[in-house]
Structure 1
Amino acid sequence: MDNSQSVDNEQTAEVSKTLDDNETVGKKMVYDYSKIYPAWFLERLQDWRSEGHLVDVTLCAEGKEIPCHRLVLSACSDYFHAMFSGAHNESKKAKIEIGGVDGEALQLLVDFAYTSKVCITTDNVQPLYEAANMLQVGRVEEGCENFLAARLDPETCLVTWALADKVSCTYLSAIARSFALKFFEYVCTTEEFLELPVNFLKTYISKDDLHAEKEERVLEVILLWVGHDLEERQGYLKELLECVRFSHVDQHYLKNIMKTDKVLGAVSGIQELIQDQTVQERCCQIFQGEILIFGGVKDKGEDMMEMNCNMYRLDLHGNLVHSTPLPEPLHDSTGTAACVVKNDVIVTGGRKSPSQAWRYRSSLNSWMKLGSLRRRRYDHGMAVLQGKVYVVGGIRDHRQQFFNQSHVEVTEVYNELTDSWDKVAPLLQAVSCFGISTCCEKIYVFGGQISYRGRTEVQCYNPTLNVWTFATPLPNLMQSINACTFNSRIYLVGGKSVNLDHVLCYDPQEDCYLQMADSIAPWELSSATVCGSEIYITGGMYEDEGCSIGSCKVQCYNVKSDTMIRVKDLPIPLWEHISVTIPKL
C-alpha cells in the first residue's frame, strides 16, 4: 500500500468517526468535519504551492526565492496582511525582496504558514526569532521566546538578553537579565562575556542586583575584559571603573593591585574614584545566606516513597554545601513546621511526635530539645513576630484524619525564659495546611483546609491587641500554600489541588491581591523561603500516569524584577518538606 492510499484510509476512518458525531436538527443533518478539515485544507495548500498552482508572489531573501500565495501569507502574518491589502507597491509585485531577514528563517516561516509546524533549534533560533518578530508571525515568535527561556545558562543568558532587547521583548529580556545577574560568577568566566560590547558590559556590572559576593570580583573581571584586547579597550577602562563600588573593596587588596597592575595604576583620576564613598553596596553583598532543606517525602524508585532523614545546606545558586542527619525523632518529619529566630531554626509538631519542639543551632550544627507544645499538632504553621515564636493551627492527631479531623484553634507563643509555651488568642477559624507569614507587625494566615477542603479565609493576628481579625479573602480556595514576606508585601506560591500557576502578591496596606510572574515548573506541595529580594521555591510533587512524582526543581522568583528563573536542582526529589534561610556562616 502506498502512502497516498494510507492517508486516504486514515481520512476515511476519521470521516466515519466524524459522521458518528454529527447531530440531526429537525429535518436537517449537520455534518461537522472540524476535526479533519484544517489538516486536509493545509495539505491542499501545500500541494498547490509545490505544484505552483495559483501561486501569485515570490519572496526573496539572501538570494533565496520562495514561491507562495498572498492569501496564505496574509492569514499567518500581520506584516504581510498590511503589505498586500494596502496601497503598498509590494501589493502588485510578483517578486518581493525581504531585507534584513535570514533566507533560511524566511523559508521556515513560509513553511509554518502552510503546515502549522516549525522546528526550532539552537542553531536557527536567533535568526528565526528576529524574522518572526519583524514579519509579525506571533506563534513562531512565542515559540522562540519559550525555547530561549527554557535553555538559559551562563553561556546563553547574555546573548539572549541582548537579542530580547533587540526585538523589544521585555519578558524575555527581564528573565535573561535576572539570570545573568544572579549567575555573574559563572557568566564572567565564559567566552561570551569577553566579547561583550562596552555599553552592554557597563549596563551589566552597574546593576544593584549583580550577584558579586565581593566587589573585588567586579574590578577583576573589568581588567580581564580590557586585557582580552588591551590595545582596543584600554580607552574604556576609566568609564568601566566608574561602575565599581570602591568603598566596598578591601583596602589592602586595593593597595596591592594598584601597585602590581600597571594598566590600572596609570588610569587618570583613579585616586578620585577610589575615594568616592557615595555608592551603596550591592543587594547580594548586603544579604548573604544559605538555605536549609529538611524533612518531607522523597522518591525511592518503582513507585516507592520514604521519609527524608537528612538536612541539606544549599548556597544561593542551589549548590550543595553539605548534608547532615536529622535527630531520630525528626526522621518522620512530615507535618512539622519551622521558623528562624536569632539565626537558629525552631521546629515543632509533626505526625510522628505532634508535641515536640526542637532548636537547631546553626553556628554549632547541633540540635537541642525544647519544652513540649501545649497542644498536639501537625500540618500547622509557625511565624516569628517581634522576636517571639508563634505556633498556629494544625490538626491534633493523625490517627483521626480519615474519620474526624480535630483542628487546633489555640495559638501558642514560646517563652524562652521558662522554656514553655503560653496561650494567646485562638484562631477565628481553625485550619491546617495554610500559608503563614508576618508582615507590618502582624501575622497572616492564608487559606488552609478543613476536612480536606480548601479555604479562602485570611486571618490576621495583632499582638498589641491580642486579637485575630479577617482580611480580604483569597481569590480562590487555597491549601498548603507558601507565604513569604518582602518589603511590606506577602507573596503566595505553590499549594495543593489549586489552580495557582503564578505568584500571587498580597498588599496588607491596600488589602488587595496582584497577579505576578508565572511558575515555570510544578510546585504543588513545594516549600518556599525568602533570601534577600528573592524567593526560592524548592521541590514539589506532580502526577504522572496516576503516580505521585517528586520534583527536585528549584525556582527562584526575583521580587524586584518580577521574574522567575530556574537554579540548580535539589540533591533529591522532595515534597512536603521544609525550607528556611539562615545567614551564611
Structure 2
Amino acid sequence: MFSGYFPESDKKEIVLNDMEPDCLKLILDYIYTGHLVVNHANVQNLLATASFLQIDWIEERCCDFIVKALDANNCLGVKKFGENHSLPRLEEYASEYVLKHFQEVTRSDEFLSIPFDEFHKILENPELYIYDEEALLRSIIKWIDHNPAERQQHLTQLVTKLHPACVSNKLVQSINMLHDDKDCRDWVDSVSQSIDKMQWNIFVLDKMGRQPDFGKYDMTTGNMIPLSPFPLEAFALSFASQKHFLYVQGGCVGRSRRTCFYYNVYKNKWFSMPSMKEQRSHHRSLILDSFLYAMGGNGSKVTHRSVECMDLETGTTMLVEPMLSPRSSMGAVVCEQSLYVMGGETDQKSLSSVEMFDPRVGIWQSMPRLNVVNSYCTSAVTDNYIYCCEGLGSSMERFDLRSREWEMIEFTSEREFFEIFSIGNDVYSISSEEIARYYPAGNRWENIFYYPFTREWDTALAVELVNESSVVF
C-alpha cells in the first residue's frame, strides 16, 4: 500500500475501516516479536483483521483455535462468520459439525434465529445425522413458534423431510399445528398408516471382508435384496441396531481398526461416525437406551477388557468400567436393562464365564457359567431366555432368566452358526447356506431361505421397518 502506486502511498494518515485497534496492535507486535496470544476474547476480531491483511499464518492459527472450540452453542455462528469473511476452511468445519451434531444444535439459542433457507438446506443434506427424529420434529415446532407469523408457511416443507415411520403417531396427534395446516395432512396420514405397515427384515453383512456386500432379507416377500455395500473391507467387525439405524464398528485388515459407521435403512446409505478409542476386532457392540457399547475384542497387541460407550445423540465416547476378564469372539445381548457377555476366548484359552453389567450400578458382576459353549460364541435373547451357541457344534445352551440357570439343548447333528439373533420371541440363525428359524417345541431348525451361493462368514440382525410400498408420503 505504501510502496506501490496507490493513493495511500502519499498520505500521512490512513483510515482502516472495520478494524479493531487492539487487534492491529497484536498483529504489529507479532510481526516484530514473533509472539501472539490467541484467546476466546480476541480470536474472531483477530481472524477478521488477519484475513483483511492477508497474513495467512495468523489466519490459520485463529481457525485452528476456533475449530477446537466448536460446540453446539457456537457452530452456527462460526459457520456464518466463515461465510461472511470468505474463510472456506472454517465454514467447512462448522458446517460438518452442524450436520453431525444437529440434534444438540437445536437446543441452542442460535438455532431459534436460523433463517428458513439455512434450516431447510440442513434438513435436505444427505450427510445429516439425526438420532431421534421425534426430537427433531419438536425442534421444528419450537422454531416455528419462535416467530409464527413469518414461519408457519414453512411447516410442510420442514416436516416432510422426516420419514413418517420414524415419528410416533401419538406425538403427531398431539401437535395441533400439524392438523391445522391442510398441506401437512398427507404426511400426517402417512404417519398413521405406518403403524400397521411394519414388517421384519433381516440384514446380512459379510463379516469376512473379502467382499463387503450387504443385503436385506424381506420376510414378507421372501426376497434377498442387495443394498449399498459397506464402505470398507473388514474382518471380524461388530454389528448392532436401534430404530432405523445399523452400526458397524472396528474389524481388521492386517491390524484392528477404530472405525465406526452407521447405516440409515430408509436412505440406503452409509455414513462415518467418530472413531472408537481402542482398536478392536472380534469384539461385540450393543445398544442400550441411546448408548452404543463396544466391548472386548482384539487390539494391536492385546485382548481387551475395556468397554467404551458412545452417546449416539452427541457422538461423544468415554471408557466405562472394564469387564472382569479380557475376551474376544464372545456372545453378547441386552437383557433386563443390562449388558450380558458370554464365553469367548483370550490368546491362551477359551472362556465359559458370563458377566453382567448394569449401567445404573456401573460394575460388572459374575453370572452362572456356561456348560459347554465357549469360543466363537453367538447369542440371542427372548422374553424368558438367553440363547448361546458356538460357530460349529451339536448343542446350544439357554439361560432361564427366572431360575437363573443354564440348560443344554442337544441337536441330532452338527450345525453351523455364523450368528443367531431374535425376532420377538423367536430365535433365528444364519450359516454359509441358509437362514433358519428355531422351534423350541420340537427342538428343530427350519429353513426359511437358502443362499444362491455359499457364504463365508456373515453377521446378521433383524429390524422392524415400515413397508414403504404401502405408505404414501
- TMscore range, shorter length: 0.5 to 0.7
Q: Does 1:388 align with 2:296?
A: no
Q: Does 1:358 align with 2:239?
A: no
Distance 2:365 2:426 in 1: 29
Q: Does 1:537 align with 2:421?
A: no
Q: Give the corresponding residue for 1:319.
A: 222
Q: 4+ residue stretches of structure 1 with deviation over 6 A?
A: none
Q: Is contact 1:293–1:578 with CA below 8 Å preserved after alignment?
A: yes
Q: Deviations over 1:114-169 (max 9, x none)?
A: xxxxxxxxxxxxxxxxxxxxxxxxxxxxxxxxxxxxxxxxxxxxxxxxxxxxxxxx
What SS is found at the alignment partner of 2:214? strand
Change (3 A) 1:528 1:410: same
Q: Does 1:516 align with 2:397?
A: no
Q: Is contact 1:520–1:565 with CA below 8 Å preserved after alignment?
A: no
Shift of 1:489: 1.6
Shift of 1:342: 1.8
Distance 1:388 1:509 in 2: 27
Which residue identity is paired with 1:295?
Answer: D
Percent of aligned pairs with the same residue?
Answer: 16
- TM-score, normalised on structure 2? 0.53
Q: Deviations over 1:347-379 (max 9, x none)?
A: 100013610001100011111100000111100
Q: Is contact 1:519–1:564 with CA below 8 Å preserved after alignment?
A: no
Distance 1:372 1:440 in 2: 28
Distance 2:410 2:197 in 1: 25
Match of 1:291 among 202, 213, 218: 202
Match of 1:493 among 389, 392, 397: 389
Q: Give the corresponding residue for 1:476.
A: 372
Q: Deviations over 1:206-246 (max 9, x none)?
A: xxxxxxxxxxxxxxxxxxxxxxxxxxxxxxxxxxxxxxxxx
Query: Which 5+ residue runs of structure 1 have no aligned equivalent?
Result: 1-284, 298-305, 398-404, 540-550
Please give the root-mean-square deviation of Cα atoms over the aligned residues, in Å.
Answer: 2.4
Match of 1:379 among 263, 278, 282: 282
Q: Is contact 1:292–1:313 with CA below 8 Å preserved after alignment?
A: yes
Q: Is contact 2:228–2:270 with CA below 8 Å preserved after alignment?
A: no
Q: Does 1:348 align with 2:244?
A: no
Shift of 1:462: 1.2
Q: Does 1:572 align with 2:446?
A: no
Q: Does 1:447 align with 2:381?
A: no
Q: Is contact 2:228–2:268 with CA below 8 Å preserved after alignment?
A: no
Q: Is contact 1:461–1:467 with CA below 8 Å preserved after alignment?
A: yes
What SS is found at the alignment partner of 1:418? coil
Which residue identity is paired with 1:309?
Answer: P
Q: Is contact 1:439–1:488 with CA below 8 Å preserved after alignment?
A: no
Query: Which 5+ residue runs of structure 2 have no aligned equivalent?
Result: 1-195, 467-473
Shift of 1:317: 7.0
Q: Is contact 1:454–1:477 with CA below 8 Å preserved after alignment?
A: no
Shift of 1:447: 0.7
Distance 1:518 1:348 in 2: 33
Q: Is contact 1:478–1:495 with CA below 8 Å preserved after alignment?
A: no
Distance 2:296 2:238 in 1: 11
Q: Is contact 1:334–1:577 with CA below 8 Å preserved after alignment?
A: no
Q: Is contact 1:439–1:489 with CA below 8 Å preserved after alignment?
A: no
Change (3 A) 1:339 1:408: same
Distance 2:322 2:221 in 1: 38
Distance 1:560 1:368 in 2: 42
**Which of the pair has the greater relative contact order for Cα pairs under 8 Å at 6+ separation?**
2
Change (3 A) 1:412 1:522: same
Q: Does 1:412 align with 2:308?
A: yes
Q: Give the corresponding residue for 1:367.
A: 270
Q: Is contact 1:334–1:576 with CA below 8 Å preserved after alignment?
A: no
Where in structure 2 are the equivalents of 1:126-137 lying within 5 Å? none
Q: Does 1:309 align with 2:190?
A: no
Q: Is contact 2:330–2:345 with CA below 8 Å preserved after alignment?
A: yes
Distance 2:204 2:270 in 1: 15
Change (3 A) 1:472 1:555: same
Larger Rg: 1
Shift of 1:510: 2.2
Q: Is contact 2:261–2:270 with CA below 8 Å preserved after alignment?
A: yes
Q: Deviations over 1:425-460 (max 9, x none)?
A: 101101000000011121111110111631111011
Change (3 A) 1:487 1:460: same
Distance 2:228 2:391 in 1: 27
Change (3 A) 1:323 1:520: farther
Q: Give the corresponding residue for 2:362.
A: 466
- TM-score, normalised on structure 1? 0.43
